[in-house]
Each structure stands twice: as C-alpha cells, then as structure tokens.
C-alpha cells in the first residue's frame, strides 16, 4: 500500500508578494517589446489582409467624415470653416484612438484566449500589444490632420505644439493601464463591454469633440470635471496652438493617477486568475 499522503493548505500570497509578481510581469513585458511590436503589426496585417489600401481605408473614411461633418456643423454652429475644420480633424482622430482602444481593451484577454492557455507570457504583453496596435492606426490617421492643415493653411506654433509630447506620454501610460484594467474586468464579467460601449457613446456627445468648448459659454468651468475632455485637451490644445489651463492639466493628471492606481491594485490581485477567466 502507498504511504500516507498529506494535503497541505497554505494561505494565498500576501499583497506585497502579489505586487512583486505584478512588477515582474511588467518588467518581463518591457523586455519583450520587440515581440509586442511584432504582434501589433501582425494584427494590422491580418485585419486588412487582401485590402489594397490596408489601414489607409480607415484614414480615408475618417477624412471623408471630417469633411462632411465640417461643412454641416460649421453651418449649424455658424463657425468659420477655417478655424473649425482643423479643430474637428484633430478631435476626431484623437477620439477615434480613444474609442478604439477602449473597445479593444475590453476584449484584450478574451480574444487572446488561445495564447494565454497555450504558452506562458507576461499578461502585460497583451495590453502593450493593444496599445501599439492602436498607436499604429493613429499614426495612419495623422495624415488627415496634415491634409486639413495644408488645405486650410492652419499651422500651430511649433513651440506650443511641443507641449503635446509629454501629454502623449501620459496617454501611453493611461492606455496601458486601461488595457490591463478593462481586460481583466471584462474577462471576469462579460456584461461590462456593452456597458463600456454605452458609456463611450454618451461621453462622445457630452465631451467637446464635434463642438467647441466656447459654445457652452459661462459653463466652461464644468469641463475639467470631465476626464474625457481633459485627457483629450492636453493633446489637442497644443496641436491647435493653445496651452491648456492649469485646471485641465491638474484634472488630467489626477485622472491618470487614479486610473493607474486602480489598475495596479486590481492587476496585482487578479493576475494569477486571468487564465481561468478567459
């Protein structure tokens, strides 16, 4: 007969140990940045496989939408086309990145179920893959902004435009945090993606994307309480030759800190369960 066997039950890892594991996951993903880039480029190639223009189809559709909306809304709002069209082009391109990122983030882990179950890779890799993929699409859509600026002959001051660089760095950090946060939550609760889609649709209309902030007049003081607006404005305003107010910067950085903090706490706690949720 076999010898007696003992079942040993040990408590789960402490929060400190969970944080150490999460930090190791991030470090390993950073060391695999070439793999993340390759996977993101592969996603773009697969998505537009057999297409003549590839991702430039999205650029073309964005350009046509900006042109049509520019004519319609400049007439409705009685705004000079020369000032409104560059604003609309930048807003649509940047908001398109945010909306696409949120949608992809909701399905980040679920859509990679096969890879998660078949090989060991840092979970941060899947979030970085989503961010890089959407940054590639954003780079293609920047053509719309350049064309509109050339047609309207509207160029921001180069010194002012440089203020968008640190804002883009904040965007990258927030994008990765959002990918990890929504990826884990949506893998566990499959009802969250349609809720997020509804929230993004409502946010589009209450955020100055197709309408200028000045249209609400004396109520502009409410805008910094909208995190969608502040995160959009810290990149958009410098590209339009303006510097955002301190309230906008403070709100954007506060929103970023809260997002990153929530993501870190959740990711450290549930990282080991993601494979069972997908």
- Residues 205-232 have pLDDT tens digits of 888 888 888 878 788 888 889 899 999 9
Reported residue count of the chain is: 278
Q: How many domains does the chain have?
A: 1
**Does residue 80 sit within a domain?**
yes
Q: What percent of the chain has pLDDT over 70?
A: 92
The per-residue pLDDT for range 227-264, each reduced to its tens digit, is 999 999 999 989 888 888 899 999 999 999 999 999 99
**Does residue 226 sit within a domain?**
yes
**Does residue 206 sit within a domain?**
yes
**Does residue 7 sit within a domain?**
no
Tell me, what's the pLDDT at 119? 83
Tell me, what's the pLDDT at 143? 87
Tell me, what's the pLDDT at 6? 61
Alpha helices by DSSP H, listed for 107-163, are 113-118, 123-152, 158-161
186 by DSSP, 3-state: which?
Answer: helix
Tell me, what's the pLDDT at 12? 55
Tell me, what's the pLDDT at 10? 47
Domain with 88, as residue range(s), is 33-211+219-277
Q: pTM for the full model?
A: 0.86
Sign of CA pseudo-dihedral 201, 205, 206, 207:
positive
**Does residue 75 sit within a domain?**
yes
**Does residue 189 sit within a domain?**
yes
Contact 200, 206 (CB under 8 A): no
Nearest to 19 by CA among 261, 274, 203: 261
Tell me, what's the pLDDT at 9? 45
**Does residue 2 sit within a domain?**
no
Residues in the chain where the model's pLDDT stays below 70: 1-13, 15, 50, 52, 54
How far lies 238's CA from each of 144, 158, 244, in Å? Answer: 17, 9, 8
What DSSP line would sit under 202-262, residue for residue?
Answer: HHHHHSSSSS-GGGGGGGGGGGGG-HHHHHHHHHHHHHTT----HHHHHHHHHHHHHHHHH
Tell me, what's the pLDDT at 2? 55
Tell me, what's the pLDDT at 155? 78
**Does residue 207 sit within a domain?**
yes
């Amino acid at each position: 007969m076999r010898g007696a066997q003992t079942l040993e039950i040990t408590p789960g890892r402490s929060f400190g140990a969970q944080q150490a594991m999460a930090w190791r996951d991030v470090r390993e993903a950073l060391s695999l940045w070439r793999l993340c880039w390759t996977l993101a480029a592969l996603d773009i190639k697969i998505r537009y496989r057999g297409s003549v223009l590839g991702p430039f189809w999205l650029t073309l559709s964005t350009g046509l939408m900006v042109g049509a909306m520019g004519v319609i809304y400049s007439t409705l709002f009685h705004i000079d086309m020369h000032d409104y069209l560059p604003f609309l082009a930048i807003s649509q391109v940047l908001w398109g990145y945010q909306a696409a990122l949120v949608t992809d983030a909701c399905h980040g882990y679920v859509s990679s179920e096969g890879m998660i179950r078949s090989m060991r890779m840092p979970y941060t890799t899947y979030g970085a893959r989503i961010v890089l993929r959407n940054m590639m699409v954003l780079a293609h859509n920047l053509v719309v902004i350049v064309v509109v600026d050339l047609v309207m002959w509207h160029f921001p001051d180069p010194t002012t435009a440089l203020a968008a660089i640190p804002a883009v760095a904040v965007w990258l950090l927030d994008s990765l945090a959002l990918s990890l946060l929504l990826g884990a939550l949506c893998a566990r609760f499959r009802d969250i993606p349609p809720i997020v889609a509804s929230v993004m649709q409502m946010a589009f209309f209450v955020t100055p994307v197709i309408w200028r902030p000045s249209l609400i007049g004396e109520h502009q003081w409410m805008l910094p309480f909208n995190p969608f607006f502040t995160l959009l404005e810290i990149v958009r305003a410098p590209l339009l030759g303006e510097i955002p107010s301190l309230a906008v910067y403070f709100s954007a950085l506060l929103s970023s800190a809260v997002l990153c903090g929530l993501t870190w706490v959740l990711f450290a706690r549930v990282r080991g369960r993601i494979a069972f949720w997908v």
